[in-house]
A and B are shown apart, each in its own frame.
Chain A
Amino acid sequence: GAVVSQHPSWVICKSGTSVKIECRSLDFQATTMFWYRQFPKQSLMLMATSNEGSKATYEQGVEKDKFLINHASLTLSTLTVTSAHPEDSSFYICSARQGLTEAFFGQGTRLTVV
């Protein structure tokens, strides 16, 4: 299957700072990328959908000013958690799809805000 890479795999940041997570499709052009958040022992929760060159579409209840998503190229999307707080600590996962094919997921980024 296609490869989607996330970086970093884990990050610890201080409360009030911002952290950027990268998601790259390594061997295909991702027309659509998705960002999810997962809390311990829970399922994945879709945060937003982004199409290359367009503004992201956020799910209800997700603060767009707090979770900035940029999908500037067909192989890269970034999620920036701004002014992070301990409650933002979570496992963040991206996925990417080319056209109407199945989506492939990154390995996830564990964010801990202290």
Chain B
Amino acid sequence: DAKTTQPPSMDCAEGRAANLPCNHSTISGNEYVYWYRQIHSQGPQYIIHGLKNNETNEMASLIITEDRKSSTLILPHATLRDTAVYYCIVKGTSGTYKYIFGTGTRLKVLA
């Protein structure tokens, strides 16, 4: 599975869009990009995933570049409850399908 690189921390004003980048330059053709977040002392929460096309759900949008080497998770209107560590994971569809967590981005939403 490809490795991901994320900034260690980011701040965002409440009500503004939070844009969290992820670099996955070694991603291969059959690997998906998954995003999870972990609020303090809880298990990770699934947010969204995609392969090539941009994806949107009730929680967030996922923008994947055309070369698929990077992606951005967008929280359109961040709230204080969005303060968490956000993990970008690249995972294939073959092998053991393991979810390997990197260090993630600690997002702090400021009032």
Interface residues of A (CB under 8 A from B): 1, 4, 6, 32, 34, 36, 43-46, 49, 57, 91, 93, 95, 97, 100, 102-108, 110
Query: Shortest 3 CB-CB distances between A and B: which pairs?
Result: A105-B43, A44-B101, A105-B44
Chain B residue nearest to A94 in the complex (CB): B43
Inter-subunit contact A107/B43 (CB<8 Å): yes
Q: How far is the CB of B26 from chain A (nearest CB, A)?
A: 19
Cα–Cα distance between A49 and B38 once the two chains are bound (Å): 20
Inter-subunit contact A34/B99 (CB<8 Å): yes
Within 8 Å of chain A (Cβ to Cβ): is B25? no
Inter-subunit contact A107/B97 (CB<8 Å): no
Kindly list chain A residues whose C-beta atoms are within 8 Å of the C-beta of B46: 1, 102-105
Cα–Cα distance between A36 and B38 once the two chains are bound (Å): 13
Q: What are 21 A-B pairs at a CB distance below 8 A?
A: A4-B43, A6-B43, A43-B101, A43-B104, A44-B44, A46-B98, A46-B100, A49-B98, A57-B96, A100-B93, A100-B97, A102-B46, A102-B49, A105-B36, A105-B43, A105-B45, A105-B46, A106-B43, A107-B42, A108-B42, A110-B41
Kindly list chain B residues whose C-beta atoms are within 8 Å of the C-beta of A6: 43
Q: How far is the CB of A46 from chain B (nearest CB, A)?
A: 6
Cα–Cα distance between A1 and B45 once the two chains are bound (Å): 9
Q: How far is the CB of B84 from chain A (nearest CB, A)?
A: 13
Inter-subunit contact B41/A108 (CB<8 Å): yes
Inter-subunit contact B42/A103 (CB<8 Å): no
Inter-subunit contact B102/A43 (CB<8 Å): yes
